[in-house]
Amino acid sequence: MKPDIKKIAAVTMVRNDDFYLKKWVEYYGSRLGKENLYIYFDGKDQVIADFCKGTNAELVEKIGSQVVEAEKGRLSFLSGKAAWLLGSGYDLVIGVDADEFIVVDPKLGMSLPEYLSSLNITSSASGLGVDFGQKLGEEADITEDRPFLQQRHYGQLGTRYTKPSILAKPLRWGSGFHRIKGHNFHIAKDLYLFHFGYFDMKRLRDRFQDKDRLAQGWGKHMEKRSRTIRLVTDKKARNFEKWTKIARRIQTLCRPPYALNKPAMFEAKIIVRIPERFQDIV
């Protein structure tokens, strides 16, 4: 018996990021309905793309000029929007960046709304984070005409993208959606957060040349994120089924001493190959 389907919204904030936003709108729009997507463009100097038609897309005043300042302001803004949506008839709100996708394991045969509706979420829920890279020498430059997961097959099981992305009540996200202030996180079984922000070396190098991002201090951050590509290229891939179970268990039980509401994995660098059953999802 299928659960009663809850009313679910998805929110994000973007700046000069149509490549990912188009995929974001396609993915969440096909699952939640475009009318339940709320997109905020950081800066009124931008243009709302045609593919956003049918969504709730809005230009807002630019938030901050440096990375730390901008991130705090951005997540404060989005936490407020999530609280407003939860008070306006929505049962759940998904908050993610435009390069992040909440994915249900296709082996369950359930849609994203069906799966989330089956959970008893009292505060928040997290998917297990998988940070995709590019296996240099094996995987070519990414193209827009095929699903990402037909072109990228390797990811790192890390803690950075195990985020409390799904809210059932008004709460405050920390910077980057990485934690809920004053609350623990709860990793749902068979639920993942797939991150594609640094999965293509050519795109990453092109982003280094983005004057807007460099002015905000993103240069060092983006250089650091190319490590995922190096790890995926250099390290042997492990079994997905086995190591996602291990990672989910470790991250559920372990916390770093400096942040008790974030997951820990003892700095393990675990690379897995994603099963073919996922290849048509994103």
Task: Mark 19-53 as b/e (b = at least 16 C-beta within 10 Å).
Answer: ebbbbbbebbbebbbbebbbbbbbeeebeeeebbe
CB 269 within 8 A of CB 192: no
Task: Compute CA distances 136 → 114, 142, 174, 242, whole Å.
Answer: 37, 12, 33, 25
Structure tokens at 266: 């003892």
| CA dihedral sign, ordered 61, 65, 70, 76 | negative
Query: What would the pLDDT profile of 255-282 be if each residue is shown by its tens digit?
Result: 776 666 778 787 788 999 999 999 999 9
Distance CA 174, CA 79 (A): 9
Rounded percentage of the chain residues whose pLDDT exceeds 70: 88
pLDDT of residue 67: 54
Domains of the chain: 8-278 (3.90.550)
Distance CA 199, CA 196 (A): 5
Q: What are phi and psi of 149, to 5 degrees?
A: -80, 0
CB 57 within 8 A of CB 21: no
* Mean pLDDT for the chain overall: 89
Task: Indicate whether this model's pTM tops 0.85.
Answer: yes
Neighbours of 60 (CB within 10 A): 14
Query: What would the pLDDT profile of 109-144 be if each residue is shown by its tens digit?
Result: 999 999 999 999 999 999 999 999 999 999 999 998
Task: Compute CA distances 8 → 28, 83, 108, whole Å.
Answer: 10, 13, 20
Structure tokens at 171: 């709460």
